[in-house]
Amino acid sequence: MEGKYNPFLIKSYESAELFCDRESEVEKLYQNAKNGIDTTLISPRRMGKTGLIFRFFDFLKKDKNFKSIYIDIYAARSLSDFIKLLSEAILKQFPETTTIGQKFFNIIKGLRPLISYDNISGEPQLQIVYQTEGEKQQTLQGLLTFLDSQETKIVLAIDEFQQIAYFPEKNIEALLRTYIQRLRNVQFVFCGSRKDMMTEMFSSAKRPFFASTQYLVLDKIDKKIYADFITKIFRKNNVEIEQDALDFILEWTKTYTFYTQSVCNMAFSRVNKKVDLEVIKKSCAELLKNNEAAFFQYRKLLTPAQWEVLIAIAKEDEVTQITSKKFVGKYNIGSPADVRRITKALIDKELVLETVTKTETIYQVYDVFLSRWLEREY
Ligand SMILES: Nc1ncnc2c1ncn2[C@@H]1O[C@H](COP(=O)(O)OP(=O)(O)O)[C@@H](O)[C@H]1O
Ligand SMILES: [Mg+2]
């Protein structure tokens, strides 16, 4: 549909209308916020965590008792970066022109910040120069105390929270935990896609955040609900999608949010009235082609043995017995011990996703497009 606005988003969040389901998750986040419970939100990347946070914040606008603040610390390399991101987010939520904003300004003025405004987004940017570690810690505490002293309650979502584990400063976790524990008015959502790191941080008795939050594990969207959503969105734009096309999308993308959205987005851009199986297959092929350069790059970064194991997992779609004779023998990929070691390396590189359930451990190629591409090319 040339020139027409594409309703299948593959970035960020826009409105409840273009967002599929997640109602029970929004409700859970809301209940936690109201009951003073912090939440740890986990899922593999591209499942919809960030989208869910924005959906929740959109929903929260209805409740005047709350204000929301979002920071993504993926690119933060230190406590200073963290403070900078948090200050900017606060400035964004409470602009200088508001009373609260003025108060906030007075606090950070003491830090001799350089404030500028991004010339593309117009968003505030801060530069703070510190003398000592102690100053940094004080600033962080000051920011959180400031938030805590507002008349409204505040939900502060910290996306890609696992990054704090890489900060060079010592005891960041303990420091944050100490400050956070004292707050009465601020509720946290800690969000992350490294399940191993997140669960270690929040479930290990040795760690400061141990048992301090409630987990919300984001799963795939229900197939039937997603199918209805896709049909509805197309229909609103006067496009009919055929049943076999719909089935193919959900199967081929494994109902994995980002990939399902991507195929729908591509199909939408190609048609005017009707989406049939052929359109979908062509859309999928084009998406694989668009990503091919990245896939070749992966191959360059892996050893041949790692690449072979990745292909074998892709061809199986899902592997539960990763060291079984049946799997290892079928693809001739070395000894069970080799395969175990290689799989571990692939998990660390986030090329293989390990899902532990009550009854089994499932291995899949993390990126669905890469999985489909390997399956087809080899
Ligand atoms: N419930 C949803 N309905 C429609 N699109 C969604 C939904 N959740 C996520 N998306 C889309 O999927 C993509 C990946 O989601 P994102 O929230 O960035 O995942 P994560 O933060 O888990 O990596 C985004 O482009 C987003 O627009
Ligand atoms: Mg995200």
Q: pLDDT > 90: what percent of the chain?
A: 82
Nearest alpha-carbon partner for 28 in 59, 62, 72: 59
**94 pLDDT higher than 90:** no
Is the model more confident about 284 or about 80? 284
- Using the mean position of ligand 2's atoms as its centre, give its distance from the Cα of residue 44 in Å: 9
Closest CA to ligand 1's atom 4: 19
Atom of ligand 1 nearest to the CA of 19: 3
Measured in angstroms, how far is the CA atom of residue 331 from the centroid of ligand 2? Answer: 35
Ligand 1: residue of 42, 198, 258, 367 to mutate (most ligand atoms within 8 A of CB) is 258
> Stretch 108-115: mean pLDDT, rounded?
70
Residues above pLDDT 70, as percent of the chain: 98
β-bridge partners, 40: 190, 215
- The pLDDT of 180-192, averaged and rounded, is 96
| Cβ–ligand 1 contact at 230 (below 6 Å) | no
The pLDDT score that the predictor gives to residue 3 is 62
**Residue nearest to ligand 1 atom 14, measured at CA:** 46
Ligand 1 contact, 11 CB (< 6 A): yes
Residue 9: CB within 6 Å of ligand 1?
yes
pLDDT digits (tens, 9 = 90+) for 13-33: 999 999 999 999 999 999 999
C-beta 258 within 6 A of ligand 1: yes
In order of start, what are the domains of the chain with their CATH numbers?
A: 22-217 (3.40.50.300), 223-297 (1.10.8), 302-377 (1.10.10.10)
Q: What is the pTM of this model?
A: 0.94
Instruction: Supply the pLDDT for residue 99.
Output: 81
C-beta of 257 in contact with ligand 1 (< 6 A): yes
Could you tell me whether strands 274-275 and 124-127 are parallel, antiparallel, or unpaired per DSSP bridges? unpaired
Rounded to an integer, the average pLDDT of 358-374 is 97
Instruction: Give the per-residue pLDDT at 103.
Output: 82
Residue with the nearest Cα to atom 16 of ligand 1?
48
Nearest to 292 by CA among 369, 352, 351: 369
Which of 50, 191, 260 for mutating ligand 1's site (highest number of atoms within 8 Å of CB)? 50
pLDDT computed for residue 111 by the predictor: 67
CA of 349 from ligand 1 middle (Å) equals 22
> Does residue 12 have its Cβ closer than 6 Å to ligand 1?
yes
Ligand 2 centre distance from Cα of residue 238 (Å): 31
